[in-house]
């Protein structure tokens, strides 16, 4: 059994850490990948960046398939092309539970990355996958999607998240 990892929640300042490149695709990294995938599936998310589990290396996992059986692993991803055409779409994030809002993203992207065996791969993505890749890659630069929203909206979200956090902490109190 792979134990799920704890997902950092906005406005945790650690979410703003800039990730460093992965130095080696080895057993340690593959173990982290498996744990991140398990964490993403358990949380019913379509993507998770290492930043969100407090590991500051350039690694993301994604699965936008309906059957939840097509995991995509991107190590040291770089966007080599992004379509000039953009679209406003609704996004959410496992680090900002319950919040959905519009973000403008390129319709299509081309991304170069290593896969879990360390092989270089180039992915041409459009639609939901393109949005997800851009969203997760933002995490690696310390950016959470709510930072695209107005200061007013962001303030409200921050207040809501802190309130949720306090409630969770209360529920987590041991019974004496
Ligand atoms: Ni996210």
Distance CA 176, CA 171 (A): 13
Catalytic, 126? Answer no
Buried-state track 111-142, b at ≥16 Cβ within 10 A, e below 16? bebbebeeeeeebebeeebbbbbbbbbbbbeb
pLDDT at 65: 97
Q: What is the mean pLDDT of residues 131-160?
A: 98
Residue 164: is its pLDDT beyond 80?
yes
Task: Give pTM, 2 decimals.
Answer: 0.95
Give residue-wise pLDDT tens across range 73-107: 999 999 999 999 999 999 999 999 999 999 999 99
Report CA 89 to chain centroid distance, whole Å: 16
When the pLDDT of each residue in the chain is averaged and rounded to a whole number, the result is 96
Q: What is the mean pLDDT of residues 154-176?
A: 88
Closest CA to 80 of 105, 109, 120, 108: 109
45 alpha carbon – ligand 1 mean position (Å): 9
| Cα 146 to averaged position of ligand 1 atoms, centre (Å) | 9
Report CA(20)–ligand 1 centroid distance (Å): 18
Give the per-residue pLDDT at 88: 98
Instruction: Name the active-site residue from 136, 147, 167, 169.
Output: 136
Instruction: Give 105-123 pLDDT, tens digit per residue.
Output: 999 999 999 999 999 999 9
Provide mean pLDDT across the span 12-22.
98
Is residue 3 predicted with pLDDT exceeding 90?
no
| Distance separating alpha carbons of residues 141 and 56, to the nearest angstrom | 10
Determine the distance separating the centroid of ligand 1 and the alpha carbon of 175, expressed in angstroms: 33
Assess whether pLDDT exceeds 60 at residue 1: no
Pairing of strands 47-49, 59-62: antiparallel
Tell me the C-alpha distance between 127 and 130, whole Å: 5
Predicted confidence at residue 176, as pLDDT, reads 59
């Amino acid at each position: 059994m792979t134990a799920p990892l704890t997902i950092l929640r906005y406005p945790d300042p650690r979410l703003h850490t800039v990730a460093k490149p992965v130095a080696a695709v080895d057993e340690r990294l593959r173990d982290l990948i498996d744990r991140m995938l398990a964490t993403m599936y358990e949380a019913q998310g379509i993507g998770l960046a290492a930043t969100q589990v407090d590991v500051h290396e350039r690694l993301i996992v994604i699965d936008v398939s309906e059957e939840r059986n097509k995991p995509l692993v991107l190590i040291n991803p770089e966007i080599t092309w992004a379509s000039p055409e953009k679209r406003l779409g609704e996004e959410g994030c496992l680090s900002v539970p319950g919040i959905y809002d519009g973000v403008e993203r390129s319709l299509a992207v081309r991304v170069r990355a290593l896969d879990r065996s360390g092989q270089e791969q180039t992915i041409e993505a459009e639609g939901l996958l393109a949005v997800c890749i851009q969203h997760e890659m933002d995490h690696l630069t310390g950016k959470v999607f709510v930072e695209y929203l107005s200061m007013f909206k962001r303030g409200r979200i921050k207040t809501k998240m802190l309130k949720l956090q306090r409630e969770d902490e209360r529920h987590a109190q041991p019974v004496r």
